[in-house]
Amino acid sequence: MRSSDYSDNIAQCLAELPTVISRLAVLDLSMGTLTDNCAEALLNFAPINQLHTLDVSMNNLSLNMIEKLSQLNCKVIAEPQQNEEAEFGSRCCALYE
């Protein structure tokens, strides 16, 4: 699910579907538009700890959120993040840059 313009929506939907997460080993939301608000939904979703790896690199997450995510019981890949004040001044997934 990487390189999505809808990373926030994907995260919110997954946080409501425990059976989907329980079937995954790796959740790759990298190179997208994920923000702290929707990362918080994943953070508060207990089944996320069943993953082997959560990749949220190259999104729009704050250092504070990265620290919170690093406390999960799975491997979290969160670096680097996009600069919110990018050259074009808008959020876009990394694939388009």
Please give the chain's pLDDT, 97 residues, in tens: 888 888 889 888 888 888 888 899 999 999 999 999 999 998 988 999 999 999 999 999 999 999 999 999 999 999 999 865 444 344 455 554 5
Q: Identify whether 77 is part of a domain.
A: yes
The answer to whether position 2 is within a domain reads: no
Report the amino acid identity of residue 43: L
Note the pLDDT of residue 89: 41
CA–CA separation, 84 and 33 (whole Å): 10
Q: What is the pLDDT of residue 3?
A: 83
Containing structural domain, residue 72 = 7-96
**Which amino acid would we find at residue 40?**
E
Query: In this structure, is residue 1 part of a structural domain?
Result: no
CATH of the domain at 80: 3.80.10.10
Q: What is the pLDDT of residue 84?
A: 52
The whole-number pLDDT of residue 21 equals 84
| pLDDT of 39 | 94
Domain count of the fold of the chain: 1
Q: What is the pLDDT of residue 87?
A: 42
Asked if 77 contacts 30 with a C-beta cutoff of 8 angstroms, the reply is yes
